[in-house]
Structure 1
Amino acid sequence: MKKDEWHIVRFASRGNNSFIESAKAAVQDYFSPNNISVYANREMWIKTIVMLSLYFVPYTLMVVGLGAGNVWLYLGLWLLTGLGVTGIGASIMHDANHGSFSPKKGINDMIGHILEIIGGYAPTWKIQHNVLHHTYTNVTGLDEDIDSIKFLRFSPNQPRHWYHRYQHMYAWGFYMLMTLFWMTAKDYLQVLRYKSHGLLSKQKVTLKQAMFRISLFKVIYYGYILVLPLIFSGMPWYWVLAGFFLMHFTAGLLLACIFQPAHVMSSSGYATPDADRKMKDSWAVHEMENTTNYAPRSRVLSWCIGGLNYQIEHHLFSGICHVHYRKLAPIVKQQAAAFNIPYQVQPTFIRALWEHARMLKKLGRK
């Protein structure tokens, strides 16, 4: 198999009058007659301003010395920046890098590159998330959201070791390290791996360009996020580092808690391709069997986490801005029922986290 074909898995044909075609038609019937754009509306633009402010305002106040002499206020500002990282990641750059923020590619690209400002790198994110995760959800060896470090077993198709028996207790600690690892080493490791598999060129970037840009963005990121507070905040270096780690621990844990209950659940199918690399179901049915919504009645939670409690709608219609998912959910649920396809929902966020923890425990056992 050629290096640029390593990841190809063929899903079953969706057939005529399929679930996804019917769902697309029903969703279109919501937007077109009501003259509603599938892209960002005023609510989305307001949220963008709020989430950016949640990150940059506390940071600015901290750098100019607002928290100097008051450790709790100072750490509180860092905590708010962690919430800002979460909001930017889940609510702003996520839509933009899916192309669902605006019908104009230039606007999507500009907003999507906010990821570089908070320490990441958009091309590698797009490969991991848009290409691999959204296409091969929960397929071991292809979906890097479940192919994590060896201490975490997210699929029954992965090797099990003795320490996985305790992963439902220690996984949360690794979740806290997620963004810190991402902003430090993950992008470098990914770009080398994606180059070897022929995926990097699809983002129209060479390895040399990617390595240079990643390095440049990391220098800028660590320059403003650590060096400026060390110089101007008026706080000792150890409190600056404590705040920096607090920000990342907060963002890492929250982002993991947002995404993990959507897929690593006991209700997930975890289907694998056969010897000919073919799946038994169509792509849309596979997504339905490996995705779970949660807390559909909580409009506050949905607003805060970029509508990602509606993961089913997001996976089926990632080109639609998340502010519309709440209205699309009943439509998709009705279509799923008509085709006798599971539509998996946990009633609350807490319940979803509990079920995710139970799944971690289950995966740690024989």
Structure 2
Amino acid sequence: MWVKTIVMLALYFVPYVLMVTGVGAGNLWLFFGLWFLMGMGMSGIGTAVMHDANHGTYSPDKKVNNFISHILEIIGGYTVTWKIQHNVLHHTYTNVAGLDEDIDSIILLRFSPRQPRYWFHRYQYIYAWFFYMIMTLFWMTAKDYLQVVRYKQHDLLIKQKVSLKQALLRITVYKLFYYAYILVLPILFAGQPWYFVVMGFLLMHFTAGLFLSCIFQPSHVVEESAFASPLQMDGKRHMEDTWAVHEVANTTDFAPHNHILSWFIGGLNYQIEHHLFPGICHVHYTKIAPIVQSVAEDYGLPYHVQPTFLQALRKHAEMLKMLGRE
């Protein structure tokens, strides 16, 4: 994990340092190439470093996990809202419309058969990829503010031991720091016109947003997923299946033999194992996966896996098309 952390941080910060010191000032291809590498580094930090730390699995030491988790603020996010959306809502209510914010997106995107369908969803398999590209850009600008207000209304900030006022202040300070170093400094020192810097910044986010979306979406939004709705009993909503069965039924692995991809994306191609064992570091998923698959088969449970990354993307695209028509 330490080696991986150094590699991912270097992939993000080395191109940045080269850029603000004037490397690439006379070569636009090199200049934009540095921004592209930063986008890949940003993805790697998110999937292979920060993700484990915020799950408490980066290290046995809680202080180390807490320290590493705040790398998210360095790349423009906010740890508190991420933990609520991902650890609390997504991992508890996977693919449950109205509770899992990973599928409750903008109205233009329909990720579940439980969500309303409109005429424009017929074309979402074409335009969804654009919204995937701007995912991190929206996240680093408005999403954290919108989420923290919503989470306050649902009393989700209490367990994070932060008030709405504190959260808003911290988000603002983090965002000011982020935009100061990621935009202002390159504009001042990169040796390129401001509009090329802005274009490079957008390229970085388009790269990270598209790559991250292509990692997470094929793991849940595919035809094999169950998309179960909670049952109403005694005036309360209950899951139809037990939590573990629900997670297996709504999650898909992909490219289990692609060790390079698995290393770079923090084992998130083993999404079933991650959802069943979110308290275990991703470096162990390759050994856990055969055991999980064997037990699932013993109990007659589905174990969805796509052999390659491209096949997983194709299945997701087919699901987007299906959701736009049915």
TM-score (normalizing by structure 2)? 0.98
> Which deviations, in whole Å up to 9, do the C-alpha atoms of 1:271-305 show, x marking residues without a partner?
00112311221000000000000001110110111
1:318 deviates by: 0.8
Q: Which runs of 5+ in 2 are unaligned?
A: none
Deviation at residue 69 of structure 1 after TM alignment: 1.1
**Which residue among 293, 298, 302 is the counterpart of 2:258?**
298
Deviations 1:41-75 (A, max 9, x none): xxx21111000100000001001000101000000
1:81 positional shift: 0.2
Matched length: 323
Aligned equivalents of 2:196, 2:17: Cα separation in 1:
16
Query: Aligned residue for 1:196?
Result: 153
| 1:110-148 deviations in Å (ceiling 9; x for gaps) | 000000000000000000000000000000100000000
1:274 correspondence with 2:234: no
Residue 339 of structure 1: how far off its partner (Å): 1.0
> Which stretches of structure 1, 4 residues or longer, exceed 4 Å deviation after superposition?
none
Note the residue ranges of structure 1 that are not aligned, 5 or more in a row: 1-43
Q: Distance in 1 between matches of 2:76 and 2:3?
A: 23
Residue 251 of structure 1 corresponds to: 208
Aligned equivalent of 2:187:
230
Measure the CA separation in 2 of the matches of 1:269 and 1:164: 20
Q: Does 1:241 align with 2:198?
A: yes
Q: 1:319-344 CA distances to partner (integer Å, 9 max, x unpaired)?
A: 11111101110011111111111110
Residue number among 288, 303, 312 corresponding to 1:328 in the alignment: 288
What is the distance in 2 between the residues matched to 1:130 and 1:145? 11
Q: CA deviation at 1:179?
A: 0.2
State which of 267, 272, 275 in structure 2 corresponds to 1:307: 267
One-letter code of the match for 1:298? N
CA deviation digits over 1:75-97, x for unaligned, max 9? 00000000000000000000000
Return the offset for 1:360: 0.3
Considering only aligned residues, what root-mean-square deviation do their CA atoms show, in Å? 0.5
Q: Which amino acid aligns with 1:266?
A: E
Whether 1:129 and 2:89 are equivalent positions in the alignment is no
Shift of 1:109: 0.6
User: Helix, strand or coil for the counterpart of 1:293?
Assistant: strand
Q: TM-score, normalization: structure 1?
A: 0.88
Greater relative contact order, per chain length (Cα 8 Å cut-off, separation 6+):
1
Please give the secondary structure, in 2, of the residue aligned with 1:345. strand
Query: Which residue in 2 is equivalent to 1:91?
Result: 48
Aligned residues: percent identity?
Answer: 69
Taking the aligned partners of 2:10 and 2:201, their CA distance within structure 1 comes to 18
Cα shift readout 1:238-258 (whole Å, capped 9, x = no counterpart):
110010000000000000000
> C-alpha distance in 1, partners of 2:151/2:94?
18
Number of the residue aligned with 1:206: 163
SS in 1 for 2:238: coil
Cα deviations by residue, 1:336-360 (Å, 9 ceiling, x for unpaired)? 1111111100010000000000000
Residue 4 of structure 2 corresponds to residue 47 of structure 1:
yes
CA distance in structure 2 between the partners assigned to 1:146 and 1:45 by the alignment: 32
Query: Which of these residues, 124, 131, 152, is aligned with residue 174 of structure 1?
Result: 131
Q: Secondary structure at the match of 2:125?
A: helix
The equivalences for 1:27-46 within 5 A come to 44-46=1-3
Report the counterpart of residue 28 of structure 2 in structure 1.
71
Q: Distance in 1 between matches of 2:177 and 2:133?
A: 23
> Which residue does 1:41 correspond to in 2?
none
1:317 shift after superposition? 0.5
Alignment-mate amino acid for residue 16 of structure 2 = Y
